[in-house]
Structure 1
């Protein structure tokens, strides 16, 4: 978890590859109206996120009920969002990709083919409630080090 541009998808792909499990990107579960809102530079509200978070929780439950393991890349900015995501799922563990504003802005401005504009970085930083129950990793570390820490500590 982490704000836009923190490397959630990249790290999730690598962790999933190392564990030989599936990776899900929460962005793929946003309803079209949320995507359009973000594309226009408008931050999502808690109401916008409610159904999305519930759908993600249900997807995780479905997969875990079948005995599958999964890595989910998701912003999960607030504790109440994380509470919805892991409701009824005591096996969920969190990796928080912590980054400073300048690094995030640089990364987001270099992305192509993504709906999240750099204008939303500040709103995500304002909304962020850093988790107290997560493995915390500095996003400036090399990808290999971040993945190694995730694999060792989760």
Structure 2
């Protein structure tokens, strides 16, 4: 093999190895930043891991919102029409948050079955709904305006 070709081959092999290592390090570093979406029925089935950061979405169950008198703590439940998930949130809720409306929560599932949320997103007043939430609610579930989610 010609020496110039040999040098080029070695250079290509080194570049491929370094690129693979860099991609591996990036994937490893991002594994803790991934948020997996679960429907409330997955909580009831026991498919949701404890202590891992996750997202859940559905309709806020009417008459489930309970606010603490002396703190920002709010307890409520979300449903996909098949199962409910209890949620605890200790920050200010978005203005569009209401009972019977769609919401997506991000947090960690505790051993007692409650989802301790650190972020709550309320459905916007337009017709867009994230695809994961729409799938979890199904075609016949009504949320808020009766148009489904």
Q: Is the shorter-chain TM-score for this pair beyond 0.5, marking a shared fold? A: no
TM-score w.r.t. the length of structure 2 is 0.30
Higher radius of gyration, 1 or 2:
2
Select the structure that is richer in helix: 1
TM-score w.r.t. the length of structure 1 is 0.30
Q: With CA pairs under 8 Å and 6+ residues apart, which has the higher RCO, 1 or 2? A: 1
Select the structure that is richer in strand: 2
